[in-house]
Structure 1
Amino acid sequence: MLFASDSIVTESASKQIEEQLRRAIQEGRLRADEQLPTEAELAERFGVSRPTIREALKRLAAQNLIRSKRGPAGGNFVNRPSLEEAGMNLVTPALLLTSSGEFDAAAICEARSLIESNLLAFTVQRRTDDDLTELQAALDELSDPATANGAFCAAEVRFHRAMVRAAGNKIIEYFSYTLLEGLQPIGNLISYKLQDRQQLVALHGALLDALRARDLAAAQQAFANYAQYRHTLYDAAVSQYQERGAEGAEPA
């Protein structure tokens, strides 16, 4: 066991134990897939009861930091989070910041354009046949007239997430969850009544064709066209919203 335990006071003992174990996990002193000591061993180490230890472990499990395994080789183990699980933890704070007015549609558009356009050179160079298959599957769903509005938005998110993944940089992929899983759907929701599905399908089709051909110039132009169209939709949606607000504020 590679972590030292601090003394525990009676009040909020389970919380203090949870924090100590969480720090040990975050700092790498407890490694992924490593088994924690038993409840009895932890209780002795911290000088508390087993129910207190059990409560601390429940807190850690709720944060997906540990998992329980039953059987002769069972116990509590440090989780090895996937990139998707870790990235999705960024989504809720981003949504809260958006709902509080910190992020608006223009900022979302700008951030997406900066990240995705600058990744295109890597995406064109590094994309694989599997990436193309994933992009084509998302495009097929976008192209299907029977696709509902929510599913259409989700397919567009999958298309752009696949583009980012194809660039082969896991750090950028991790941070992109904030934009693609959290903020892109908000922007799409704002403007979905104004969007032309056929035009969006054509824009994504041109982008996929360029990636398939490994044509960077064509990919950059296709993405610029897509980004400009999204900007136009967001601007129009915001203008409509402001006009309705102004009308509602007029005296009777």
Structure 2
Amino acid sequence: MTTSTQNESGSSPKIIGRTVVRPRQQVEETIKAAILAGELRSGEMLPPEAELARQFNVSRSTLREALRSLSTQNLIIKVPGARGGNFVQSVDYRSLGNVVIESVDNLLALGGIDFDEVADVRQQLEVPSVRLAATNRTEEDLKNIEEIVTRQKEATVDDPSIPDLDRDFHTLIAQASGNRVLASFVAALHHATEPVHYLDLSPEVGRETVKQHQAIVRAIDTQDPAAAEAAIVHHLTYLRRHISAHQAK
């Protein structure tokens, strides 16, 4: 006895069909495929909407729905004005970080994930990041990181630039690792768990943080991955302890 999913020979039928999608999806998938295949290059302007609607034989409203969906996927960007239009988004590793930032921020705001979960992952990623930075950093990388620490040392705890300096410090180390994907994730997770926003930033904590940053820089300077790991773990553990104490108040 054969089942309805088998042909007369008893074998399963060959699958040759595919789901029929709506016109909006067809437009979206066609343009997306052209972008991913490189047929539409980064920064290239798409044809005018009227022309695209004619090419796809769809209404302008259907076309705009497809373009809005592509925009939310960060594949295209709409530039207003007389010289504007729909452009293929310039995609590099920073774009990946922006997508992660937006997603993590939304999940934190909606309560889908906890701060501690994000902070845990960030700490796990910063260890290989600083080890790779100690191995792969260039003189320019080192100079840029040292400049940030110098500015931190000169700043007071109420300086509005403190959060940006802290974020730049960790981001520059991640970039010095030479791994762009790792750099994107470290930057994104640091943005979501910016320690300065969760700390009771007293002058004492500020001075200790700068000292810890200096220790990390020394390890990167001497290209000592083990010392760099020990310094970053000490630093992140210190921050987590103070954040927890501040939140418990």
- TM-score > 0.5, shorter chain as reference: yes
Q: TM-score range by the shorter chain?
A: 0.7 to 0.9
Question: By how many angstroms is 1:32 displaced?
Answer: 2.4
The alignment's C-alpha RMSD in Å is: 3.3
Is contact 1:123–1:211 with CA below 8 Å preserved after alignment?
Answer: yes
Aligned to 1:99: 109
Within 5 Å, which residues of 2 pair with 1:1-252?
16=25, 19-21=28-30, 23-25=32-34, 27-28=36-37, 30-33=39-42, 36-49=46-59, 53=63, 57=67, 60=70, 63=74, 65-66=76-77, 76-146=86-156, 148-183=158-193, 185=194, 187-193=195-201, 196-240=205-249
Question: By how many angstroms is 1:81 displaced?
Answer: 1.8
**Shift in CA distance, 53/139, structure 1 to aligned 2, threshold 3 Å:** same
Question: By how many angstroms is 1:174 displaced?
Answer: 2.3
> 1:141 is matched by which residue type in structure 2?
R
> 2:76 is matched by which residue type in structure 1?
L
**Shift in CA distance, 84/148, structure 1 to aligned 2, threshold 3 Å:** farther
**Shift in CA distance, 201/18, structure 1 to aligned 2, threshold 3 Å:** farther
Is contact 2:155–2:162 with CA below 8 Å preserved after alignment?
Answer: no
> 2:198 is matched by which residue type in structure 1?
I
Question: By how many angstroms is 1:202 displaced?
Answer: 0.6
Matches of 2:212 and 2:77, distance apart in 1: 43
> 1:196 is matched by which residue type in structure 2?
V
Is contact 2:100–2:188 with CA below 8 Å preserved after alignment?
Answer: yes
- Report the secondary structure of 1:214's partner residue: coil
- Report the secondary structure of 1:89's partner residue: helix
Question: By how many angstroms is 1:89 displaced?
Answer: 1.9
Question: By how many angstroms is 1:82 displaced?
Answer: 3.0
- Report the secondary structure of 1:191's partner residue: coil
Higher normalized helix content (fraction of residues)? 1
Is contact 2:149–2:214 with CA below 8 Å preserved after alignment?
Answer: yes
Structure 2: stretches of 5+ with no match in the other structure: 1-19
Matches of 2:235 and 2:91, distance apart in 1: 33
Structure 1: stretches of 5+ with no match in the other structure: 1-5, 241-252
Matches of 2:67 and 2:32, distance apart in 1: 13
Question: By how many angstroms is 1:231 displaced?
Answer: 1.7
Write out per-residue CA displacement over residues 207-250 of structure 1, whole angstroms, 9 at most, x where no aligned residue: 1111111122322222122122112112201221xxxxxxxxxx
Out of 171-180 and 121-130, give the one that drifted further: 171-180
**Shift in CA distance, 49/220, structure 1 to aligned 2, threshold 3 Å:** closer
- Report the secondary structure of 2:54's partner residue: helix
Matches of 1:64 and 1:93, distance apart in 2: 16
Out of 20-29 and 126-135, give the one that drifted further: 20-29
Aligned to 1:244: none
- How many residue pairs match? The answer is 227
**Shift in CA distance, 142/45, structure 1 to aligned 2, threshold 3 Å:** same
Matches of 1:88 and 1:198, distance apart in 2: 31
Q: Give the share of equivalent positions with the same residue, in percent.
A: 24
Matches of 1:201 and 1:145, distance apart in 2: 10
